[in-house]
Chain A
């Protein structure tokens, strides 16, 4: 028969866990709203920039005129993957989904005969990839404020520009959890070098209506625009990933709160039953004692 005191302690510990998870859920919900707002408000800049870039690139008929950093190198040998994870845990499958996905991607690249380098964002990724034998070039973490998110995106941008110029990498992709809805987040790849096809498709429709004059000339402008575009794409993925993180945490904490509730119900039932059994047992002892006399 279970010990009454033990049961009581367990109930109270599960109760306090439930308090924590429900508080975390509410915190995540309010942070999610903020993160979504940020993602929304940064979209204007990103959209205008990609519009400018595509009208510029679309205007240049011959793709060989475009700089390598836009079109990518032929026979690319080394790919760089930027992995956007979270700094903290307790967010369900947020990080493990991402890492599983990255693993597949990496082996795919290796089958094609490319070597893979990695830049991690967030503490979870850096501690995960420390244990593997992959080539991790840089870690960025503590993305707890919006300014810091922008600053980190900036640093990553310089890093990839430098690596590309030194021929240390030929391709760059970002992996992040795309925010689809509060309950769904999907690991998504976006190619930075070469520029993803998605935008190339937009060119055709966008440029037809307006012919722009460019100042300074196209090449100089492209030189300015390309790093700028990296920054916004990276920044966007960071924001998207942070919205996803909060959403994932919110759903998983919601589940945890519900599970804790179920557990408390079960434990309380056992507790009451055990207590009743003790009382009955004692009564029987008294009665049979009295009868014996």
Chain B
């Protein structure tokens, strides 16, 4: 199990033990699992998925951020995070504008592309 800690500038959103978390890294999705080599990456807007036993437990939409991965700890610094079911096109649009202001030129894709493209097969 790895300790997944999701933090926004305002507060710690949640912290729990998970088997695996799939995150939308700037250069491709990656899975955070125990004993991963120390790793720091920025995130692009997309889905963060918590999985156990090859099943999806929870999915979230993150609007971008940073992740710091250590042996037993995965710290995700997000700008905004929503449970995927709470995301609709208008608040997606908002975070997209946010990203553009940021000068982050990662290809974003439309709302449908992000939501209907889970990072697992």
Residues of A within 8 A of B (CB): 38, 41-42, 44-46, 48-49, 51-52, 55-56, 146, 150, 158, 210-216, 220-221, 223-225, 227-228, 231-232, 235
Contact = CB atoms under 8 A, between A and B. Distances in A.
Contacts of A55: 40
Contacts of B7: 44-45, 48
A209 to B, nearest CB: 10
Contact of B26 (A42, A150, A216): A216
The range of chain B's interface size is: 20 to 34
Given A210-B70, A216-B26, A45 B77 contact: yes
Interface of B: 7-12, 25-27, 37-42, 66, 68, 70, 75, 77, 101-104
Given A215-B39, A216-B26, A52 B68 contact: yes
Contacts of B42: 215-216, 220-221, 224-225
Given A41-B10, A215-B39, 14 more contacts: A42-B10, A45-B8, A48-B7, A49-B66, A49-B77, A55-B40, A150-B9, A210-B70, A212-B38, A212-B39, A213-B40, A214-B40, A221-B42, A228-B66
Contacts of A52: 40, 66, 68, 77
Contacts of A56: 40
**Dominant SS at the A interface?**
helix
Given A52-B68, A213-B39, A215-B40, A41 B26 contact: no
A150 B68 contact: no
Q: Considering the complex of A and B, which 3 residue pairs feature the smallest CB-CB distances, nearest first? A: A41-B11, A215-B41, A212-B38
A212 B40 contact: yes
A93 B66 CA distance: 40
A235 B26 contact: no
11 contacts: A38-B10, A45-B77, A52-B68, A158-B101, A213-B37, A215-B25, A215-B27, A216-B41, A224-B66, A232-B9, A235-B9
Contacts of A232: 9
B27 A224 contact: no
Contacts of B40: 52, 55-56, 212-215, 221
A52 B68 CA distance: 8
A44 B25 CA distance: 21
B68 A211 contact: no
